[in-house]
């Protein structure tokens, strides 16, 4: 996975690539997550740091010359992808960048057949994005999230036949 993906985005002169090919690190991920999530970052810095050393984990980061604008974190174990975070800086929300990250993930991963994730049941925008892209609800995890406690909706996308059909 390391550094093989890079995409120049014309919108706002942004670049999208693996965090492993950039100067960004766990502190940047944490700071962006902390200001972007309604209840602050769900992960501490050490969790991001531990993630970044694992061969099966990557973060596609969207950035300009100076700052991190967004990222999608994921783990790939064999044919399954688990999305751990999708984060967009508050200033850049509602510009289609979360869609860009999700689409780029589907285009980037190799040998994957399924993507799954959890999303807060109150996160209507996230749920709409995932449903628009073919994710289906497969269950609920009661009280999965803390601060505040909230259920998680489990969603899944089979990408072996959907890969070419995801909305761009």
Which positions are catalytic? 118, 130
Query: CA 15, CA 69: separation in Å to the nearest integer?
Result: 10
Query: CA 31, CA 66: separation in Å to the nearest integer?
Result: 14
Query: CA 70, CA 87: separation in Å to the nearest integer?
Result: 5
Backbone dihedral angles phi then psi of residue 83, each to the nearest 5 degrees: -80, 125
Task: Classify residue 164 by its DSSP letter.
Answer: G
Integer-rounded Cα radius of gyration of the chain: 15
Query: CA 50, CA 75: separation in Å to the nearest integer?
Result: 13
Query: CA 66, CA 85: separation in Å to the nearest integer?
Result: 22
Write out the H or E segment, with its range, that includes residue 28.
helix 26-36
């Amino acid at each position: 996975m390391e550094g093989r993906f890079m995409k120049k985005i014309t919108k706002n002169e942004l670049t999208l690539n693996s965090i492993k090919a950039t100067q960004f690190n766990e502190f940047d991920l944490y700071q962006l997550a902390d200001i972007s999530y309604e209840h602050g970052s769900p992960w501490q810095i050490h969790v991001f740091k531990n993630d970044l050393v694992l061969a099966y984990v990557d973060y596609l980061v969207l950035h300009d010359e100076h700052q991190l604008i967004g990222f999608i974190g994921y783990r790939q174990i064999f044919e399954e992808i688990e999305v751990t975070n999708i984060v967009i800086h508050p200033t850049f929300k509602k510009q289609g960048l979360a869609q860009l990250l999700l689409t780029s993930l589907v285009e980037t991963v190799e040998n994957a057949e399924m993507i799954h994730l959890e999303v807060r049941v109150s996160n209507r925008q996230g749920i709409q994005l995932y449903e628009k892209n073919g994710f289906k609800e497969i269950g609920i995890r009661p009280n999965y999230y803390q601060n505040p406690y909230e259920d998680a909706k489990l969603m899944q996308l089979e990408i072996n036949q959907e890969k070419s059909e995801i909305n761009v």
